[in-house]
Amino acid sequence: MISCRKLLFLLIGCLSFIEMQAQDSLKVYPTHWWAGMKKKDTVQLLLHGNNVRKEEIYMIPYAGVKLIRTDTVKNPNYLLLTLEISALAKPGIIKFEKATVLTNYPAGVSLFDFQLKARNTQNGKTRIKGINSSDLIYLIMPDRFSNGDPTNDRIAGLKDQSLDRSDYFKRHGGDFKGIQNHLDYLQQLGVTALWLNPVLINDMPNRTEHGYAFTDHYTIEPRLGGASAYHELIDSLHKRGMKIIQDAVYNHIGIGHFLYQDLPDSSWFHWWPVYTNTTYKDQVLLDPYASAIDKKRMSDGWFTTEMPDWNQNNPMVARFLIQHAIWCTEEFGIDGWRIDTYAYNDLGFMNRCNKALLDEYPQLHLFGETFVHGIPDQSFFTRNNYNIPYKSNLPGVTDFQLNTYGIVPALTQNFGWTDGVNRLYLTATNDFVYADPMKNVIFLDNHDISRFFSVVGEDVAKQKMGIAWLLTFRGIPQLYYGTEILMKNFSDPDGKVRLDFPGGWPGDTANKFEPGGRTPAENDVYNYVRTLANYRKIAPALTTGKLMQYVPEDSVFVYFRYTAQQTVLCIMNPTSEDKEIDMHRFEERTKSFTKARNIIDGNLADIKNKLKVPGKTLWVGELQPGNPDSTGRTAP
């Protein structure tokens, strides 16, 4: 016979085994946190596991940390614990246990451990430095840039097992390692920061290549290499003095997300009697005459049938999203955030989210996607000078206005009162509405719009003009991958503007990462970008200087970038004819100078009387005082 004592120990052993199995299936979000985040910090732990709500949980005493609140939701598979973490808390392991049903058992059974880590001492120094107008951002769709590790092309167990480079809506195999392998190329080009399309896992049945349908916020996409490869890429960037921008998606998730598949309760997402799509009409949010239902459909309608719309007015949802943004910033050393579909979020939530990030990391830069039409619309979503009820605290936006109503018409329309270069000039005159237009990100193209080379009719000269504008105008310039090698195509369908970078895969017929793999025209444009981008690094007039522009005349647009120490002259002539510019008109900026050194070819030009600018050229020259010699140095 088995004694009662032996039976008791056997039963305890069985219970321990069961508890270990339960612990393995229990997920805790966030996975860890850090000591010393703020003077007084609260962290919401979301526990997800089979019937976890029934557990009576105890936190083993830990100096500086208190379990101040336990919340339940309708679904018994969730439990939320709120911890208060004081400035006294030190790095270590916080243990959580649950009571055993056996009163003779002397202690609870371990449920999970939660780690408090030490913060990185390089924050604000070599990492989390922020993004500013001194940077050149290079936007990469990771699946389409380079395949550095073929072993992660397909991941067993994930729903999307496609791998077909002939289909631009399927996965192609690009990854973090592929990007890391080409950091020399990017740095030589003059790039200082990378913005990657979303890096979180998208465990969806199809269309997972773009990354905008998260299914688990705390898992980095394994087909890109996972968290270890992401860390390695970012560490490599930071060692080079380069930066990383992560793509945030607060508005929606993928329909395969565990929080939608195993819903905590109905208040976590927006619901309608029948499926209701957003109207995509951002205008209703600033329209003084808008109806309530139009505002609701815009903000609470789903982005697509595959993307459930978060209810950000639910405080648990808001805390989950904000904590994740802070967690990623600290964990990976994020220097900036690009915020997807900014206008579709609850704007009050966005202000709270932005504030939480900037309170913790004042140097961080945040800019929102504002794919809208009109300067009032765009400026409504960022810091502005309007006296209106809603005041955004977002530092900057993606400047679609300077794209759609600026550089594109400047290089595709004939000159007119409000057309051609006049449209670019007029758009820039409205910068007075922004609190700081230098924080806006300007661009020629991105993953959602047609390639600029196609927009300008595959005209190499106009492509170079667009690039020159991008690198000399106000704001933070962003270059889309492949623009420097004349990648083309229109956005209908959008997959055509997301093709592979040639040479990023073994066996590619041409390797555009190397001069020998590029055509003469491609090398010409690549070298043009490299020359201007690297000059820009050492030109404070272009990175932090003021902008002065002149009313366009005779199809020509002239503007200056300048500081007290440096002045750069930019003359845009989009016509096919050479133009002789009377420089006396610009004496306000040129009177202390006699020459200008062409940044591209290094030649000196006399700017006291007239300057000849070839057709289809944006002439860029640094003004030289006195009597400079042929090298651009001022002679004694």
DSSP string for residues in 50-107: TTGGG--EEEPPBTTEEEEEEEE-SSTTEEEEEEEEETT--SEEEEEEE--S-TTSSS
Distance CA 504, CA 511 (A): 7
CA 440/CA 227 separation, integer angstroms: 30
CA distance 449 to 90: 48
According to CATH, the topology of domain 4-117 is: Immunoglobulin-like (2.60.40)
Question: Choosing from 149, 340, 346, 622, which is the catalytic residue?
Answer: 340
* The pLDDT of residue 41: 82
Query: SS in 3 state form for 454-516?
Result: HHCCCCHHHHHHHHHHHHHCCCEEEEECCHHHCCCCCCCCHHHHCCCCCCCCCCCCCCCCCHH
Is 71 an active-site residue?
no
- Take residue 84 and report the two structure tokens written for it: 């208060």
Rounded CA separation 592/46 (Å): 64
Give the C-alpha separation, 97 to 99, whole Å.
7
Distance between first and last Cα of the chain: 108
CB-neighbour burial class of residue 494 (10 A; exposed 0-12, middle 13-18, buried 19+)? middle
Q: How many CA atoms lie within 13 A of 4 on its CB side?
A: 1
- 208's CB contacts (< 8 A; 6+ apart) are 160, 171, 202, 223
DSSP string, 179-210: HHTTHHHHHHHT--EEEESP-EE---SS--SS
Query: What are the phi and psi torsion angles at 462 (to 5°)?
Result: -70, -30
3-state secondary structure of 441: strand
Q: Is 369 a catalytic residue?
A: yes
Distance CA 195, CA 478 (A): 9
Listed residue (131, 58, 117) closest to 89, CA to CA: 117
- Cis peptide, bond prior to residue 376, ω within 30 of zero: no
Could you tell me the fold of the domain covering 142-247+336-542?
TIM Barrel (3.20.20)
- The active-site residue, picked from 41, 369, 431, 622, is 369
List of the chain residues with pLDDT < 70: 1-24, 39, 100-107, 627-636
Q: Which two tokens stand for residue 93?
A: 């392991």
Cα three-residue angle 243-247-248, rounded to 5 degrees: 130
CATH class of segment(s) 548-624? mainly beta
For residue 87, the number of C-alpha atoms closer than 13 Å in the C-beta half-sphere is 3
Distances (CA, A) of 510 to 163, 168, 458, 516, 518: 21, 19, 20, 9, 7
β-pair partners for 72: 79
**Burial zone of 31 (CB within 10 Å; 0-12 exposed, 13-18 middle, 19+ buried):** middle
Find the helix or strand (DSSP H, E) in which 427 lies: helix 421-429
Dig out the tokens for 449 from the structure.
């719009």
Both structure tokens of 611: 């300057």
Torsion of CA 131, 318, 346, 495, to 10 degrees: 60
Peptide linkage before 493 cis (omega within 30 of 0): yes
Q: Tokens 């309007």 correspond to what residue? A: 386
- Domain parsing of the chain, residue ranges: 4-117, 142-247+336-542, 249-335, 548-624
**Closest to 591 measured CA to CA, from 572, 568, 613, 607:** 607
Q: Are 474 and 436 within 8 A, CB to CB?
A: no
Is residue 66 within 8 Å of residue 88, measured between CB atoms? no
Both tokens of 417, joined, read 């009162």
Enumerate residues 6+ apart whose C-beta is below 8 A from 327. 30, 33, 218
194 φ, ψ (degrees, to nearest 5)? -110, 135
For residue 260, what are the contacts with CB-CB under 8 A and spacing of at least 6? 253, 254, 269, 308
What are the Cα distances from residue 88, in Å, to 64, 119, 416?
A: 5, 14, 66
Per the CB < 8 A criterion, the answer to whether 188 and 530 are in contact is yes
Q: How many CB atoms lie within 10 A of CB 587?
A: 11
Comparing 4-117 with 548-624, is the CATH topology the same?
A: yes
Spell out the SS3 assignment of 356-367: HHHHHCCCCEEE
